[in-house]
A and B are shown apart, each in its own frame.
Chain A
Amino acid sequence: MSLVKVENLNIQFDTDEGQLLALEDVNFTVNNGEILGIAGESGSGKTITAKSLMQLNDENTLYHPNSKILHQGENLLNYDELKMVPYRGKIFSMIFQEPMASFAPAIRIGDQMVEQLQIHENISVQEARERSIQALTSVGIPDSATLIDQYSYEFSGGMRQRAMIAMALSTNPQLLIADEPTTALDVTIQAQIINLIKREVRERNMGVIFITHDLALLAQTAHRILIMYMGKIVESGTTYQVLTNPQHPYTQSLIESSPDINNFEKPLIPIPGEVPLLKDRPQGCVFQNRCKKIMGEACRTQKPLTVAQEDGHTVACHIYHE
């Protein structure tokens, strides 16, 4: 069942150098009980997409009038600040890469969690505190009744991330947006956090958007994957489809350059060139400057359409719609 549907999301940034296209025709759906992975490197637009769901972008962000973010039939882009409040912490919840950034350093963890709950629900401080302690226990923090009164710097990196997840889940959100949640963590701690997220998805039937640059992590975590490059979804499908049968040249190159622990001697092939600056966005296909399979005029001048195959695997590349 579709939880959130993003339609025709087109975003431009208003900058000194003019209006620059940052997101191009982004369309996707997240369902309940599903982990949707968004993979991309720097400049891919994955964070802007995530922030758009909660309208956290600044006033220089211009949405195209046709853009829609649909939840239960309503377009969230039409909502004003007041109507967006429940979407920032209650219906939608977000966790970030830097756990230190989520918690104010001079306020106890417990006080922040209680404040979060009280903003979104009409409950007493006592009840909010009880629920927060429970939330901390359920993410595996020992002795939570005592630790809830500590400051964020007293927690280790892994524990802080758990606390952030606890805080995000304490309001029982329908959708959890996780932006690089494990990038700053040790690999053994990362495994614990991933298992925790997966368990919560199963138990609560909530949807998760999992943003990362680590394809291997998505391989083990996500049900479906979107591959983004320069603000465009170049390929999407189930994890199995995208990673075992990649169609877009960027996806293929990305996999070729990623190390594989099960085949560690394979040579890592870099993608030549760099991601262009926003103001140098190419006409035609955005990937043309670095594509190994570039075909010619079509790639240079025309934007490729997104073609969907029967099994739902989509790709935006001229090779597939000649």
Chain B
Amino acid sequence: MLVTYIMSSFIEVRNLEVQYERGKKNIFEKTNSFNAVDNVNFDIQKGKIFGLVGESGSGKSTLGKALLAAKEYHRGSIHYHFQEGMINPNHLPKNLLKLFRSKVQLIFQDPYNSLSPRMTVRDIIAEPLESLGITSSKKETDDRVIEIAQKCQLNINHLNRFPHSFSGGQRQRISIARSLVAKPEFIVADESVAALDVSIQAGILQLLKTIQQEMGLTIMFISHDLSVVANFCDDVAVMYLGKIVELAPTKKLFTDPKHPYTKALFQSIPSIHPDTQTTLQTLEGEIPSIYQKPQGCVFQTRCPIVSSRCKVDQPSMKKHNEHQTACFYST
């Protein structure tokens, strides 16, 4: 007898819309709001690394913020399936918010700005433990701080120093240590390696991979750097002007991209092999302003295969073997 388990995904996002208000020029103007994230659907499985790529205006950072309960969303739903129960990050009551914060954390992009300049490294890393009431004594806090600092390959003799005496790569490790000290289940890494030199970046990625496997973490990796995403992530979603245009496991996406935008994106990426020195294929035009999203498909203004249908109807995500695309004409 077949027993079918209906397993819900770890994180389910359905028809998500996140709005921003455009600043008013005076008090008489009506507030203009626009959808930074527009009708987005996807699932993230536990223990996987989910990549989110896009250029400026794609909405990837906003999506990350919504997942972190750092920005409220306006339509649709986000559901986390923790062991303790299901949590929706919008408008959480105080006690649930604390629980949520201990389970979902963020690693920042800028190693220079994300560490409080007047606090010692030890205090910076210890902050989540103290604010969320996870540890009950100074000794317990210190032990946890030392444990995570060692995991992140920080010198524990330097914990009483201030951030300004560390290099970019080390600061990012401090940032990571802070995010991990409360033993979260889900991490959003928003451009966490973008500000680092390539040789240091490789080290941070290696560290993240090791810790992810050791701690069973689920990671959402937001980046504009496709080569890094291709190397690091299990699944990838491509965003353009607030919409997901393509979503597939990494290998499938990068060997067989289907959406015209994804294809154009890949052709713009330079390869480190000079053999392939050709003119980089370019996408004409600029990314349209987020305030003036076109009716119909978001990509119509730059799409090489645009048709009249594209200017009127919005394509929905078509799924074929784990590979989803939002285009009328993708093969």
Report A's interface with B, CB cutoff 8 A: 41-42, 156-159, 186-192, 194-195, 198, 213-217, 219-221, 239-240, 243-244, 253-255, 257-262, 264-266, 268-272, 274-275
Q: How far is the CA of A244 from the CA of B170 in the complex (A)?
A: 31
A186 B287 Cβ-Cβ under 8 A: yes
- Smallest CB separation, B262 vs chain A (Å): 11
| Nearest chain B residue, comparing its CB with the CB of A274 | B167
Q: How many residues of B contact A (CB 8 A)?
A: 47
Residues of chain A contacted by B205 (CB below 8 angstroms): 268
Q: Does B199 contact A (CB under 8 A)?
A: yes
Q: How far is the CA of A187 from the CA of B55 in the complex (A)?
A: 8
- Smallest CB separation, A220 vs chain B (Å): 4
| Among candidates A158, A195, A261, residue contacting B269 with C-beta atoms closer than 8 Å | A261
Q: Does B23 contact A (CB under 8 A)?
A: no
Report B's interface with A, CB cutoff 8 A: 55-56, 167-170, 197-203, 205-206, 224-228, 230-231, 250-251, 254, 264-283, 286-287
Known contacts A186-B55, A270-B200: A262-B282 contact under CB 8 Å: no
| Among candidates B198, B230, B277, B283, residue contacting A188 with C-beta atoms closer than 8 Å | B283
| Among candidates B206, B275, B280, residue contacting A268 with C-beta atoms closer than 8 Å | B206
Residues of chain B contacted by A216 (CB below 8 angstroms): 227, 269-272
- Smallest CB separation, B112 vs chain A (Å): 12
A254 B198 Cβ-Cβ under 8 A: yes
- Smallest CB separation, B101 vs chain A (Å): 31
| Among candidates B170, B202, B280, residue contacting A274 with C-beta atoms closer than 8 Å | B170
Scoring A192, A194, A198, A268 by chain B CB atoms within 10 A of each residue's CB, the highest score goes to A268
| Among candidates A187, A239, A269, residue contacting B274 with C-beta atoms closer than 8 Å | A239
Q: How far is the CA of A272 from the CA of B204 in the complex (A)?
A: 11
Residues of chain B contacted by A220 (CB below 8 angstroms): 270-271, 274, 276-278, 280
| Among candidates A156, A260, A271, residue contacting B199 with C-beta atoms closer than 8 Å | A271
Scoring B167, B277, B280 by chain A CB atoms within 10 A of each residue's CB, the highest score goes to B280
Q: How far is the CA of A156 from the CA of B278 in the complex (A)?
A: 27
| Among candidates B273, B274, B286, residue contacting A158 with C-beta atoms closer than 8 Å | B286
- Smallest CB separation, B200 vs chain A (Å): 7
B270 A264 Cβ-Cβ under 8 A: no
Q: How far is the CA of A157 from the CA of B276 in the complex (A)?
A: 28
Residues of chain A contacted by B269 (CB below 8 angstroms): 187, 216, 261
| Among candidates B55, B199, B231, B273, residue contacting A264 with C-beta atoms closer than 8 Å | B231
Residues of chain A contacted by B201 (CB below 8 angstroms): 257, 268, 270
Q: How far is the CA of A260 from the CA of B282 in the complex (A)?
A: 19
B276 A244 Cβ-Cβ under 8 A: no
Q: How far is the CA of A268 from the CA of B229 in the complex (A)?
A: 12
Q: How far is the CA of A264 from the CA of B277 in the complex (A)?
A: 18
B226 A261 Cβ-Cβ under 8 A: yes
B168 A260 Cβ-Cβ under 8 A: no
A259 B56 Cβ-Cβ under 8 A: no
Would you give 24 A-B contacts (Cβ < 8 Å), ordered by A? A159-B286, A189-B287, A190-B268, A191-B267, A191-B281, A195-B282, A214-B198, A216-B270, A216-B272, A219-B271, A220-B277, A220-B278, A239-B274, A255-B272, A257-B199, A258-B272, A259-B230, A262-B271, A264-B250, A265-B251, A268-B201, A271-B199, A274-B169, A274-B200
Residues of chain B contacted by A269 (CB below 8 angstroms): 202
Scoring B206, B227, B228, B265 by chain A CB atoms within 10 A of each residue's CB, the highest score goes to B227
A244 B282 Cβ-Cβ under 8 A: no
B279 A195 Cβ-Cβ under 8 A: yes
A257 B167 Cβ-Cβ under 8 A: no
| Among candidates A194, A261, A266, A274, residue contacting B271 with C-beta atoms closer than 8 Å | A261
Q: How far is the CA of A219 from the CA of B278 in the complex (A)?
A: 10
Known contacts A156-B287, A265-B231: A243-B264 contact under CB 8 Å: no
- Smallest CB separation, B110 vs chain A (Å): 14
Known contacts A257-B201, A257-B202, A260-B272: A188-B265 contact under CB 8 Å: yes
- Smallest CB separation, B193 vs chain A (Å): 10
| Nearest chain A residue, comparing its CB with the CB of B54 | A186
Sorted nearest first, the 9 A-B pairs with minimum C-beta distance are: A270-B203, A264-B230, A259-B227, A186-B55, A270-B202, A257-B202, A271-B199, A41-B197, A191-B268
Q: How far is the CA of A243 from the CA of B273 in the complex (A)?
A: 7
Known contacts A42-B168, A240-B274, A255-B272: A261-B202 contact under CB 8 Å: no
Known contacts A191-B280, A220-B277, A262-B271: A157-B266 contact under CB 8 Å: no
